[in-house]
Structure 1
Amino acid sequence: MRALTVRPGVADSLALSDVDEPPPSEGSVLVDGLCVGLCGTDTEIVSAEYGEAPPGSELLVLGHENLGRVAQASPDSGLSAGDLVVGIVRRPDPEPCAACAAGEWDMCRNGKYVEHGIKGLHGFARERWRADPDALVRLDPGLTDVGVLLEPTTILAKAWEQIDRIGRRAYWSPRVAVVTGAGPVGLMAALLGVQRGLEVHVFDRVTDGPKPQLVADLGATYHAEHLPDSKLEADVLIECTGVPSVIVDLLSLGANDSVTCLTGVSSVGATIPLDIGGLNRNAVLRNDVIFGTVNANRRHYEAGVAALAAADRAWLNRLISRRVPLADFREAFARKPEDVKVVLELGAAG
């Protein structure tokens, strides 16, 4: 069968390969792959910045944002042929740390977890794949067109869960949220903020294309100006770009008792002038919290399903700017200015 692969550590080794059928050892449920979403993580793996093949394999099948349909499942799995499913990306380490053993593998303490399409497990960019029932989340058939957005949504479901938990350390009545970046992650951050009834402001540098209208149609406010020029004081701040200068600007916008969540992964080595004393002074005197978050566990997948189900399907569909057949994978990786989310179709159309 066909799969999109790389040779980890070898830059630009992206290829459409013929690979073996998934063995039963990968899971008791056989899934027909429908599509995968592409993101910056995939691009970085293709560039050989990181990525790790499964033991004994020279290739890594890409694809962590996924959607599939059950082809075969045992009666005791809780799943049936035809069910729409998403595979959970991260799996606990073989001898779980305390966090993994508790089902909080997104908070793994020893780093021995594995991740589909990223670290030690083949991904979902293949025509068929397998998983055990506990590694699958079932979706309503009505989400067929947009279910591939679930994995990025889970990242924000976790972020908002932790923001809510931190906020409840004391009196907590947030009103204004700021999101930096209007890519898929930023737009999902904004969606979940609007669903919570907050006044949401999204900052991005583009002034045309689909992003400003997508933000407006959420009922949020789009900003293309320099972040500090807005004079906003936000109760919740979610950073989705990883750009160091944006992060520094964001840390100046918090209201008293604000919570700032960093989701964007920065490149290392960048240096910019920074008044760390001023940032520390403000954080201490305002009771601010700044934290980072990555990945998601099953609870966040279920929260993500609920968020997608409550969202406008037409709006979600507009996030998917291109659907590209698997055979045209190089076109899918060629970024276009109007792209928000590019999806690679794995089925017969591919």
Structure 2
Amino acid sequence: MRAVTVIPGVPGSLRLLDDYPEPTTEEGSILVEALAVGVCGTDLEIIEGKYGEAPPGTDHLVLGHESLGRVIEDPTGTLQAGDLVAGIVRHPDPVPCPNCAVDEWDMCRNDMFTEHGIKALPGFARQRWRIQPRFAVGLDPALSEVGVLLEPTSVVVKAWDHIFRIGQRAEWQPRTALITGAGPIGLLAALLASQRGLSVHVLDLATDGPKPALAGALGATYHAGSIDKLDFEPDVIVECTGAPAVVLEAMYKVAPTGIVCLAGVSSGGRTVDLDAGSLNRTLVLENNVVFGSVNANRRHWDAAAEALSQADRSWLASLITRRVPLSEYAAAYSPGPQDIKVILDFTA
């Protein structure tokens, strides 16, 4: 079968193999036909040789951690042939750590977890894949065109889950949320903020293209520029850019007793001027919280599936700005200036 692979640590090794082995039942009892795989920044870093780990016994890593497929067979009866399904990316470590032991593998403490398409597990960018029932998430049949957004949605569901958990430390009634960055994660974070009844603001550098309209369709206010120009203090900031200057500005801008969730990953190698004493004073005297959030566990994936089923289908479809056939796979991993979410389409 065909599969998109790289040799981790080797830049320029991206290939479409025509003779990749069929998945074995050791990977899972549920056999799935691939429909689509989403592309994200992590894939690009793996292709550049900056990250990634091949499964034991092989030099190749199949890419793809944002999946959508259709069940071919499930002898366990968990799902039925023809059902839409996505595969959970992270698997708990074998030790396991205290969090992995209770299926909170997104909070793994010893970094011995594995991840499809990223770390020691083959990804979903292959024509057929297998998954264990506990890592298979069924989807509403109506999500056949947009269900590939489940993985990034699970990430922001986890972020909002932890935001509201932290908020319970005191009497807290958030009204305003600011999302910095209008990429897929940022716009999905704005969707979930809207679903939670918050007044939503989205900040990005783009002044044209699809981003302002997508934010506006959620009822959000779109801002182009810097945080310090905003004339309000948000109760919650979900920072999705990873840009050091924006991260720092978010910590200063959040309202007293506010919460800043860092959901964007910085590349490193860049410095900003920081008055650590001033920042410390602000965070302490205003009882603010800054925390990082990444990945998701099963309950977040299930909640993400529900969130997508409640969202406007046409809005979700608008996030997918390019669908690239498998035969033209290399184009999917070459970002365009107007791209939001690019999909590798296994049905074309």
TM-score for the superposition, normalised by structure 2: 0.99
Read off the aligned partner of 1:73 and give its amino acid letter: D
Q: How far 1:115 moved relative to its partner?
A: 0.2
* 1:231 and 1:253 in contact (8 A); partners too: no
* SS of corresponding position for 1:209: coil
Residue in structure 1 matched with residue 326 of structure 2 by the alignment? 326
Could you tell me how far apart the structure 1 residues matched to 2:60 and 2:301 are?
28
Could you tell me how far apart the structure 2 residues matched to 1:232 and 1:250 are?
12
Residue in structure 2 matched with residue 21 of structure 1 by the alignment? 22
Residue in structure 2 matched with residue 12 of structure 1 by the alignment? 12
Q: How far 1:23 moved relative to its partner?
A: 0.9
* 1:30 and 1:71 in contact (8 A); partners too: yes
* SS of corresponding position for 2:69: strand
- Per-residue CA deviation, residues 26-69 of structure 1 (Å, 9 max, x unaligned), is 11110001110000000000001110000001100000000001
- Per-residue CA deviation, residues 165-194 of structure 1 (Å, 9 max, x unaligned), is 000110010011011000000000100001
Residue in structure 2 matched with residue 62 of structure 1 by the alignment? 63
Residue in structure 2 matched with residue 191 of structure 1 by the alignment? 191
* SS of corresponding position for 1:343: strand
- Per-residue CA deviation, residues 131-180 of structure 1 (Å, 9 max, x unaligned), is 11111000010011110000000000000000000001100100110110
Read off the aligned partner of 2:134 and give its amino acid letter: D
Residue in structure 1 matched with residue 258 of structure 2 by the alignment? 258
Could you tell me how far apart the structure 2 residues matched to 1:22 and 1:240 are?
35
Residue in structure 1 matched with residue 294 of structure 2 by the alignment? 294
Percent identity for Structure 1 against Structure 2: 58
Could you tell me how far apart the structure 1 residues matched to 2:279 and 2:191 are?
29
Larger displacement relative to structure 2 (328-337 or 163-172): 328-337
Unaligned segments of structure 1, at least 5 residues:
none
Q: How far 1:335 moved relative to its partner?
A: 1.4
Mapping of 1:64-79 within 5 angstroms?
Answer: 64-74=65-75, 76-79=76-79
Residue in structure 1 matched with residue 100 of structure 2 by the alignment? 100
Could you tell me how far apart the structure 2 residues matched to 1:278 and 1:239 are?
20
Mapping of 1:28-47 within 5 angstroms?
Answer: 28-47=29-48
Read off the aligned partner of 1:157 and give its amino acid letter: V
> After TM superposition, where is structure 1 displaced by more than 4 Å over at least 4 residues in a row?
none
Query: How many residues of Structure 1 are paired with residues of Structure 2 in the alignment?
Result: 347
Q: How far 1:95 moved relative to its partner?
A: 2.2
Mapping of 1:107-118 within 5 angstroms?
Answer: 107-118=107-118
Could you tell me how far apart the structure 2 residues matched to 1:221 and 1:69 are?
37
Give the root-mean-square deviation of aligned CA atoms. Answer: 0.7
Q: How far 1:342 moved relative to its partner?
A: 0.4
